[in-house]
């Protein structure tokens, strides 16, 4: 049994309250990893082209208020 299969089996056996707690923990984990990756991408310049395109669209009127 692979590690993923073991995790899937364990999660499928959780009761309602444990599953709720696990889901909240997993959401937090994913958010923290996303924040870390976003910060790395921003620092490395990987998002610069996207930011430039967004600013260009804004300055030329090709955007709208949210």
What does the pLDDT read at residue 65?
87
**pLDDT tens across 13-45, in order?**
999 999 999 999 999 999 999 999 999 999 999
What does the pLDDT read at residue 13?
98
Start-end of H helices in 1-66: 3-12, 16-44, 48-59
Give, in order, the Cα–Cα distances in Å from 34 to each of 16, 19, 52. 27, 22, 22
| Mean pLDDT (the chain, rounded) | 97
> Is 31 in contact with 24 (CB distance < 8 Å)?
no
48: Cα separation from own chain's centroid: 19
What does the pLDDT read at residue 45?
97
Q: Please indicate, yes or no, whether the overall pTM of this predicted structure exceeds 0.95.
A: no
């Amino acid at each position: 049994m692979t590690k993923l299969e073991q995790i899937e089996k364990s999660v499928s056996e959780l009761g309602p309250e444990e599953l709720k707690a696990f889901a909240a923990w997993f959401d937090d984990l994913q958010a923290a990893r996303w924040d870390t990756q976003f910060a790395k991408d921003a620092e490395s310049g990987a998002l610069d082209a996207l930011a430039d395109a967004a600013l260009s669209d804004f300055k030329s009127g090709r955007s709208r208020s949210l």
